[in-house]
Chains A and B, each alone.
Chain A
Amino acid sequence: MLNFLLQRLATIVPTLFFVSVLIFGLQQLLPGDPAIALAGEDRDPNVVAYLRAKFHLDEPLPMRYGYWLAGVLRGDLGESVRIQKPVTELILEKLPVTIELAALAMLIALVIGVTAGVISAVKKDTAWDYAANVFALWGLSTPNFWLGILFILLFAVQLGWLPASGYVSPFEDLKANLAAMIMPAFVLGNAFAAVLMRHTRSAMLQVLSSDYVRTARAKGLDERTVVLKHALRNALIPVITLGALGLGELLGGAVLTEQVFSIPGFGKLIVDAVFNRDYSVVQGVVLCTATAYLSLNLLADLAYYLVNPRMRH
């Protein structure tokens, strides 16, 4: 176990190093003097001078990277030029909203995706299977911001069942929070449900044709027990890894969903930062998502290791 963990960490550390180089390198894409670009539209000479000193812009590139990395390792991601707040603070403020959105979306995707995958595998080549495949294609091909607009049109404008936008903290009013989150969560989870359905279907098909499932059937177990207890349990193992990796993709999709439903989360933070030319915030958000993605990946590997005894040998 320890060996396995160390092995995985040994690949993650260099990856994180490259992630940091990549994100630091983004700054170099800015045309002209980065201090002027970073100072935003006002170009206040005081701010420019402050930024030049803060980012050590007069020093060579590797030195600047060193200073930046040292800051990041101390948890200092820089300061938002626009809101004049540390980036770390801004991210910590917005992150819980997005985590709630992504977690709800994941839950919806798992319920729909796994159920549809199991049904289409068990009822292969029937109308059910066909319908599930059509659903998967629909999910993969629909831009989630469009689906969001259609949902607002139907459920908020036409039927008046749900609020069109806005966010209420779950600690203030849980019911209002869920009412505001259910549409965005569904919209965000839709595409991932399609991915999960396809993977569950192929994993189930493989497991259902294996010897131990035939044995279980030969023992006279009813089909329900065979499918749910014997087949699904094993078919779900690869789905765990996929779920963890999907959470990273959901963070990306959340940018658009939050924009459509005006949810003040992580995604809205990066979009606002892009338009305010608040580049430290953009870098901070990318760094956080990448770190979250790699950590989730590590957790998924560990879960895989714990669930699957064959991995231990």
Chain B
Amino acid sequence: MAAVVFQQLEATPRRRALRRLMHRGGAMFGLGVVAFFILIALFAPWIAPHDPLATSWDAVRRAPNAAYLFGGDELGRDVLSRIIWGARASILAGLVSVSISMALGVPIGMLAGYMGRWVDALISRLTDAMLACPFLILAIALAAFLGPSLTNAMIAIGISATPIFIRLTRAQVLAAKAEDYVEAARALGNPHWRIALRHILPNIVAPLIVQATLAIAAAVIAEASLSFLGLGQQPPAPSWGSMLNTARNYVDQAPWMAIWPGVSIFLLVLSFNLLGDGLRDALDPRHQ
């Protein structure tokens, strides 16, 4: 009996959410694949069988074999090693650009939701204006004006994804503001910043985490897209998107050049999507 009570006391909302997440096969698969890609990105120098930039005459457009498991590219570089090193660009782009969106979007959204009135109206119209430009077109335009590089691509993607976080945070703050605990905090004489940061923010973190996970998936595709167009990672540095861009010209002679970078993008994006879906179900039981 005591053990049961103890167990119930132990089951904080966070633990219950974690338990629900662990019971979802898709989310666990996603988490596993994401962890796998993060590990190969971190340990790329030790794992990659070849130098990703080294060219070799006998590997030029060479079909996959024992020495080059994923084959060779048009300059005789090892496709597998480039995939392993390319994971760095994709994961970095996913994490950094979403961090930029959140660092901008969450405070602005809180300001709009908390302050209301003209501040809200101004921020909301500005958000509408950004959302009116399709995500990828805005990112392309920003990357074009900033100049092509991986850093600028991350900034461009981060800014383009910001309005989603502004909207979400604003909506969550508006809902939280009407709750009794916020009313109580206000009645106790807490200053506004304290109510916003200590009382509202911790209560709106869950939907933000879910959105961030799904946004990373979108950012990984966006980085690959910009690199594919030549606006992201610059050659010869490896990135999955730019590998696909070159592969396009050799699709009839060396199809393996196109297969593996695409499979990698697909797996990483799929995993973040699965993880995001799983987190949403785990953190918000009503959603199931």
Contact = CB atoms under 8 A, between A and B. Distances in A.
Interface string A123-155: 000000000000001101111011001101100
Interface stretch (B34-42, B58-66, B172-180, B223-231): B223-231
Given A26-B145, A141-B217, A143-B269, A150 B134 contact: no
A192 interface: no
Nearest to B139: A252
Contact of B132 (A15, A253, A275): A15
B83 interface: no
Contact of B251 (A21, A145, A157, A273): A157
A146 B258 contact: yes
Contacts of B130: 22
A286 B133 contact: yes
Given A150-B262, A153-B251, A279 B244 contact: no
Interface stretch (B12-20, B47-55, B95-103, B121-129): B121-129
A294 interface: yes
B119 interface: no
A141 B141 contact: no
Contact of A282 (B126, B145, B262): B145
A121 to B, nearest CB: 16
B54 to A, nearest CB: 25
B213 interface: no
A145 B141 CA distance: 19
A282 B251 contact: no
Interface string B259-275: 10110011001100110
B146 interface: yes
Contact of A137 (B133, B229, B230, B273): B273
A251 B221 contact: no
A149 B145 contact: no
Given A18-B125, A282-B144, A255 B137 contact: yes
A27 B144 CA distance: 10
A289 interface: yes
Residue in B134, B146, B228 with the greatest tally of chain A CB atoms within 10 Å: B134
Interface in B216-246: 217, 221, 224-225, 228-231, 241, 244
A11 B241 CA distance: 38
Given A19-B129, A248-B134, A290-B133, A140 B265 contact: no
Given A137-B273, A271-B140, A153 B258 contact: yes
Nearest to A145: B228
A66 interface: no
Interface in B80-137: 125-126, 128-130, 132-137
A11 B266 CA distance: 38
B228 A22 contact: no
Contacts, number: 139
A232 B138 CA distance: 35
Contacts of A138: 270
A169 B142 CA distance: 32
Nearest to B121: A14
Contact of B262 (A137, A149, A286): A149
A137 to B, nearest CB: 6
A23 B224 CA distance: 24
Residue in A14, A30, A149, A153 with the greatest tally of chain B CB atoms within 10 Å: A149
Interface string B10-28: 0000000000000000000
Contacts of A31: 147
Contacts of A16: 129
A145 B274 contact: no
Nearest to B26: A137
B262 A146 contact: yes
Nearest to A29: B145
Contacts of B259: 150
A252 B126 contact: no
Nearest to B251: A153
A143 B135 contact: no
A285 interface: yes
Interface in B172-215: none
B247 interface: yes
Interface in A222-247: none
A27 B130 CA distance: 16
The 10 closest A-B pairs by CB, nearest first: A252-B134, A18-B129, A146-B262, A252-B136, A141-B270, A274-B144, A29-B145, A290-B132, A141-B269, A15-B128
27 contacts: A16-B129, A17-B129, A18-B125, A26-B145, A29-B142, A29-B145, A137-B270, A140-B273, A141-B217, A142-B266, A143-B228, A143-B244, A146-B266, A149-B247, A149-B251, A149-B258, A252-B134, A252-B137, A255-B137, A255-B140, A256-B229, A274-B140, A286-B137, A289-B133, A290-B129, A290-B133, A293-B133
Interface of B: 125-126, 128-130, 132-138, 140-147, 217, 221, 224-225, 228-231, 241, 244, 247-248, 251-252, 255, 258-259, 261-262, 265-266, 269-270, 273-274
Given A252-B134, A271-B229, A290-B129, 7 more contacts: A17-B125, A23-B141, A137-B274, A143-B221, A145-B225, A146-B266, A286-B141
Interface of A: 11, 14-19, 21-23, 26-27, 29-31, 137-138, 140-143, 145-146, 149-150, 152-153, 157, 248-249, 251-253, 255-256, 259-260, 270-271, 273-275, 279, 282-283, 285-286, 289-290, 293-294, 297
